[in-house]
């Protein structure tokens, strides 16, 4: 199978879900190789590049896309299978942005306190060792951490003619910032507009769950993915399937609502996959779910509810398309 490559120029960066003209038209079944810039548009290159001077929070997470998927109609399901994520630079950047993040007051959880010091960290990538190196700013500590590439944002155009900042995670996906969004995963998104208009960006060379300081090890990324379309069957909220888990992702505030969304989605999904009564599915999910928090720093907080396939009998979602995509990925 051919892989179609696309690298946006800086002028082609898009900072919203919805509201932008398609970068390309793609057919279901096509494989794409997409370059995406980091969350800061590459603006933080050394520890002396501070976010207050270099980053405008209205224009972060530049998206690569959007891509018009032929045949996609509202109510359909877009399936994106992430084949490979490879760092596209030799370093990643992270920052404690004033009044942004989980351990500071923010523009929403407002206080009268002074901001934490605006600080930037640069992580050097070692491709051979598959590591990125944390280097403390106030001491000599240097700690190599495993490279674990993921995408912070994967989304489609919203419903109801809305246009949302690429900082937002929502029903349409977006800036969910979950480490589960990695190579080998198939993400399912409900289509809201003709052509779906999906985009990706905000690559992370690694990220802790919660993305506590507001930023991961942000890095330009080369993503290989396969696009598929399932007619109808749109899930209300994003779902992910990989070889080991079923996952649903809720994004709202307060965080218990994010969980309620994701957990209800999982109850309905497990109920449907196994033919269980909702109250039985509720009980079963209660005893088998894993709940890794995704982010507690974005415009909405995101929570993943996942269930290990190994705990349950065999089942196939969306016509077993994940297994098929895995097979196709191996042939790329």
Contact 219, 92 (CB under 8 A): yes
CB of 323 to a second copy, least distance (A): 22
CB of 227 to a second copy, least distance (A): 26
Q: How many CB atoms lie within 10 A of CB 233?
A: 13
Residue among 27, 303, 330 at smallest CA distance from 184: 330
Q: Pick the closer one to a second copy by CB: 38 or 211.
A: 211
CB of 329 to a second copy, least distance (A): 27
CA 179, CA 311: separation in Å to the nearest integer?
22
Q: Pick the closer one to a second copy by CB: 46 or 139.
A: 139
CA 199, CA 168: separation in Å to the nearest integer?
13
Both tokens of residue 280? 């039985």
Instruction: Tell me the backbone φ, ψ of residue 68, rounded to 5 degrees.
Output: -90, 120
CB of 151 to a second copy, least distance (A): 16
Q: Pick the closer one to a second copy by CB: 230 or 293.
A: 293
Burial 123-147 (b: 16+ CB within 10 A, else e): bebeeeeebbbbeeeeeeeeeeeeb
Contact 271, 332 (CB under 8 A): no
Q: Pick the closer one to a second copy by CB: 39 or 227.
A: 39
CB of 30 to a second copy, least distance (A): 28
The distance in angstroms from the start CA to the end CA of the chain is 6
CB of 5 to a second copy, least distance (A): 27
Q: Pick the closer one to a second copy by CB: 179 or 195.
A: 179
Q: Pick the closer one to a second copy by CB: 138 or 330.
A: 138
- How big is the chain by its Cα radius of gyration, in Å? 19
């Amino acid at each position: 199978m051919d892989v179609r490559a696309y690298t946006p120029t800086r002028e082609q960066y898009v900072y919203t879900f919805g509201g932008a003209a398609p970068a390309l038209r793609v057919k279901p079944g096509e494989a794409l190789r997409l370059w995406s810039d980091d969350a800061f548009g590459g603006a933080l290159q050394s520890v002396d590049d501070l976010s207050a001077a270099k980053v405008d929070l209205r224009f972060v997470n530049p998206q690569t896309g959007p891509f018009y998927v032929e045949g996609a109609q509202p109510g359909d399901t877009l399936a994106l299978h992430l084949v490979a994520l490879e760092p596209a630079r030799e370093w990643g950047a992270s920052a404690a942005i004033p009044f942004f993040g989980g351990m500071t007051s923010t523009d929403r959880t407002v206080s009268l306190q002074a901001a934490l010091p605006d600080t930037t960290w640069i992580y050097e990538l070692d491709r051979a060792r598959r590591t990125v190196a944390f280097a403390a700013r106030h001491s000599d500590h240097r700690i190599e951490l495993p490279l674990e590439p993921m995408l912070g944002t994967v989304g489609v155009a919203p419903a109801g003619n809305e246009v949302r900042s690429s900082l937002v995670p929502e029903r349409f996906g977006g800036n969910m910032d979950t480490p589960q969004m990695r190579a080998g995963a198939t993400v399912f998104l409900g289509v809201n507009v003709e052509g779906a208009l999906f985009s990706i960006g905000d690559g992370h060379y690694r990220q802790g769950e919660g993305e506590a300081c507001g930023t991961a090890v942000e890095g330009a990324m080369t993503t290989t993915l396969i696009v598929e379309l399932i007619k109808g069957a749109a899930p209300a909220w994003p779902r992910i399937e990989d070889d080991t888990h079923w996952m649903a992702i809720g994004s709202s505030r307060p965080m218990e609502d994010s969980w309620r969304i994701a957990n209800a989605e999982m109850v309905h999904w497990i109920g449907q996959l196994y033919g269980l009564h909702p109250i039985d599915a509720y009980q079963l999910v209660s005893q088998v779910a894993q709940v890794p928090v995704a982010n507690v720093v974005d415009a909405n907080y995101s929570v993943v509810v996942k269930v290990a396939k190994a705990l349950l009998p065999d089942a196939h979602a969306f016509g077993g398309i994940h297994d098929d995509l895995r097979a196709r990925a191996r042939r790329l």
